[in-house]
């Protein structure tokens, strides 16, 4: 089963997205802030990371930058998530190293399409 790390500080969003993705066959690991997300990514080596950008302790931009600067996690695809649909936010997430970006509220089919696309691109690259 594919292990996806979900880094999300909002409990309701975290629980809802976990449940919906588990129903679709993904195994979900959770972290509640950027520092915890970074540690979980390094220790658990998930296949992909869903990273909320607005997080306490360490935000998603910083956590993603660190993941992409670490040889142990550099190749793990990261999809940035935020409630901002503005092009500048997407640009900022991609510049931090996110492989893709999606906006909340989550459209599950759209998100799953992005997850599958990232995993396929990663499989080709490695
Ligand atoms: Mg948040």
Task: Please give the average per-residue pLDDT across 49-68, as a whole number.
Answer: 97
pLDDT tens digits, 77-106: 999 999 877 778 899 999 999 999 999 999
| pLDDT score recorded for residue 84 | 74
Asked if the bond preceding 13 is cis, omega within 30° of 0, the reply is no
Domain residue spans of the chain: 3-125
Instruction: Give CA–CA dist 82/89, Å, rounded.
Output: 8
Centre of ligand 1 from the C-alpha of residue 101, in Å: 14
Centre of ligand 1 from the C-alpha of residue 9, in Å: 5
- CATH number for the domain running over 3-125: 3.40.50.2300
Instruction: Give CA–CA dist 123/109, Å, rounded.
Output: 21
Looking at the chain, the whole-number percentage of residues with pLDDT higher than 90 is 89
| pLDDT score recorded for residue 61 | 97
Kindly list the protein residues that place their beta carbon closer than 5 angstroms to ligand 1, a single-atom ion: 9, 52, 54
pLDDT band at 126 (very low <50, low <70, confident <90, very high): low
Task: Please give the average per-residue pLDDT across 35-62, as a whole number.
Answer: 97
Task: Please give the average per-residue pLDDT across 5-27, as a whole number.
Answer: 97
């Amino acid at each position: 089963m594919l292990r996806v790390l979900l880094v999300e500080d909002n409990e309701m969003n975290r629980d809802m997205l976990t449940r919906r993705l588990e129903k679709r066959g993904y195994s979900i690991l959770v972290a509640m802030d950027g520092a915890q997300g970074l540690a979980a990514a390094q220790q658990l080596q998930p296949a992909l990371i869903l990273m909320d950008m607005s997080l306490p302790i360490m935000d998603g931009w910083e956590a993603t930058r660190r993941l992409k600067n670490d040889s142990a996690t550099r190749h793990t695809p990261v999809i940035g998530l935020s409630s901002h649909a503005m092009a500048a936010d997407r640009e900022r997430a991609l510049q931090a190293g996110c492989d893709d970006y999606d906006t909340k509220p989550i459209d599950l089919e759209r998100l799953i399409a992005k997850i599958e696309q990232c995993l396929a691109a990663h499989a080709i690259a490695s």
